[in-house]
């Protein structure tokens, strides 16, 4: 597949890229429309050229940011240039068109800026008490407020990206630890056997038998290199099931970064490790009344229970992930009324 075909395929398969390209096309058409209606002058020519350059950079950034995976620099470049182009269009638009844009611009500002922000107060006053004889100063206030709102949006996208990277990093680290535990347990199977000693028997995850009097020898005979692998697989499977059950409570995001997927991936190695650690605690008689398991099936069953119990630890990460996603402003990724900066009713949620 040629490089150009890869770029087109990647962008076509990337919802955020499609929405961004559609927005760029819309802004380009709006720029031409406002340019034809404006009283053209040297200053406006510079603004138009700047807006065209910003839109071209944003389009190039989208095209190059997703061949197989989004790159942070290009995503930020696309957002920043697209937003800068829009503020230039606001500067070019005639007064009557600017007044028509005010409701949408006020909604954008109220969605992102705090109620006591002076820039928000100014644009609200402009929308309420518009005066044509003060159009230039009012336009400046509108541009300042919109630019500040866009900067807040861009910072929140960076927060989403940073959070997703942290979660993926922890998931990779826990996966490496679980693999290392399984490998070491297979190489040194007698070091910490995953076995129990009920009355008259020795029970391991994949084998159980009678007790001949020498506990170390019976553990050596009953232990298998894949005991830890079986336990971790049971814990991982249970974690996958609980992850599927909890995903319905997680709000989606329309940004370029899939935080719900990162949260689900984190649960898998966590479940594998909690299964191992839980059984080791039981073997150490840490839990009163659960000092010995009688069959291999019971060991696997408790591994499933401990694997599902990873939700007790990862639910705090889930709550943080929800908070980060809800903070991303805009109608494509709404936040509930309790967390909205401007209050009021949230817009309808978009299902991606």
pLDDT at 313 over 50: yes
Residue range 148-182, pLDDT digits in tens: 999 998 888 888 888 888 999 999 999 999 999 99
Together in a domain, 77 and 216: no
What residues contact 154, with CB distance under 8 A and at least 6 apart? 76, 79, 80, 83
In a domain, 345, yes or no: no
Please answer whether residues 259 and 322 qualify as being in contact, where contact means their C-beta atoms are separated by less than 8 angstroms.
no
Last residue of a domain, which of 136, 159, 182?
159
Last residue of a domain, which of 159, 191, 215?
159
In a domain, 286, yes or no: yes
CA–CA separation, 333 and 347 (whole Å): 9
pLDDT at 336 (0 to 100): 40
Together in a domain, 71 and 110: yes
pLDDT at 12 (0 to 100): 52
Q: What is the domain count for the chain?
A: 2
In a domain, 349, yes or no: no
pLDDT at 89 over 50: yes
What residues contact 249, with CB distance under 8 A and at least 6 apart? 318
CA–CA separation, 151 and 329 (whole Å): 11
pLDDT at 149 (0 to 100): 92
pLDDT at 344 over 90: no
Q: Give the pair of three-digit tokens for residue 352.
A: 């991606």
pLDDT at 44 (0 to 100): 87
pLDDT at 86 over 90: yes
Residue range 104-155, pLDDT digits in tens: 999 999 988 888 889 999 899 888 888 877 788 889 999 999 999 999 988 8
Decide: helix, strand or coil at residue 70.
strand
Range of the domain at 281: 161-339
Together in a domain, 174 and 290: yes
The b/e string for 17-33 (b: 16+ C-beta within 10 A; e otherwise) is: bebbbebbeebbebbee
In a domain, 351, yes or no: no
Residue range 49-83, pLDDT digits in tens: 999 999 999 998 888 766 555 577 788 888 999 99
Last residue of a domain, which of 129, 159, 189?
159
Together in a domain, 191 and 112: no
* Confidence grade of residue 6 (pLDDT, cut at 50, 70, 90): very low
Together in a domain, 154 and 167: no
Together in a domain, 211 and 152: no
CA–CA separation, 166 and 25 (whole Å): 34
Q: Where are the beta strands (DSSP E) in the chain?
A: 201-203, 208-210
* Confidence grade of residue 211 (pLDDT, cut at 50, 70, 90): low
Residue range 267-294, pLDDT digits in tens: 999 999 999 998 888 887 776 666 667 7
The DSSP-derived string for 190-228 is: TTS---B--TTEEE-SS-EEE--S-HHHHHHHH--TTHH
Q: Give the pair of three-digit tokens for residue 219.
A: 């553990």
pLDDT at 347 over 50: no
Q: Which residue has the higher pLDDT, 167 or 334?
A: 167
- In angstroms, what is the C-alpha Rg of the chain? 29
């Amino acid at each position: 597949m040629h490089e150009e075909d890869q770029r087109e395929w990647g962008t076509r398969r990337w919802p955020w890229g499609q929405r961004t390209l559609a927005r760029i096309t819309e802004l380009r058409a709006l720029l031409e429309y406002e340019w034809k209606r404006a009283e053209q002058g040297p200053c406006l020519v510079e603004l138009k050229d700047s807006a065209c350059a910003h839109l071209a950079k944003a389009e190039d950034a989208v095209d190059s940011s997703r061949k197989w995976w989004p790159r942070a620099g290009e995503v930020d470049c696309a957002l920043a240039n697209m937003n800068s182009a829009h503020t230039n269009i606001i500067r070019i638009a005639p007064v009557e068109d600017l007044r028509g844009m005010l409701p949408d611009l006020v909604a954008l500002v109220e969605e992102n800026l705090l109620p006591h922000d002076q820039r928000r107060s100014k644009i609200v006053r402009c929308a309420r008490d518009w005066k044509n004889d003060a159009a230039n100063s009012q336009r400046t206030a509108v541009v300042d407020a919109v630019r500040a709102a866009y900067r807040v949006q861009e910072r929140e996208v960076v927060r989403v990206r940073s959070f997703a990277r942290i979660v993926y990093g922890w998931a990779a680290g826990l996966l490496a630890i679980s693999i290392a535990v399984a490998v070491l347990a297979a190489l040194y199977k007698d070091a910490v056997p995953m076995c129990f000693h009920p009355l008259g028997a020795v029970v391991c995850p994949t084998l159980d038998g009678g007790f001949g009097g020498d506990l170390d020898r019976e553990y050596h005979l009953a232990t298998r290199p894949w005991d830890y692998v079986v336990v971790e697989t049971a814990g991982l499977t249970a974690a996958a099931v609980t992850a599927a059950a909890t995903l319905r409570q997680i709000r989606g995001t329309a940004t370029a970064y899939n935080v719900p997927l990162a949260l689900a991936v984190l649960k898998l190695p966590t479940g594998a490790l909690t299964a191992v650690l839980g059984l080791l605690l039981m073997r150490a008689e840490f839990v009163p009344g659960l000092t010995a398991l009688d069959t291999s099936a019971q060991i696997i069953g408790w591994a499933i229970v401990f694997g599902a119990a990873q939700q007790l630890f990862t639910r705090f990460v889930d709550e943080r992930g929800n908070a980060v996603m809800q903070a991303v402003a805009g109608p494509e990724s709404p936040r509930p009324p309790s967390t909205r900066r401007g209050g009021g009713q949230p817009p309808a949620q978009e299902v991606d």
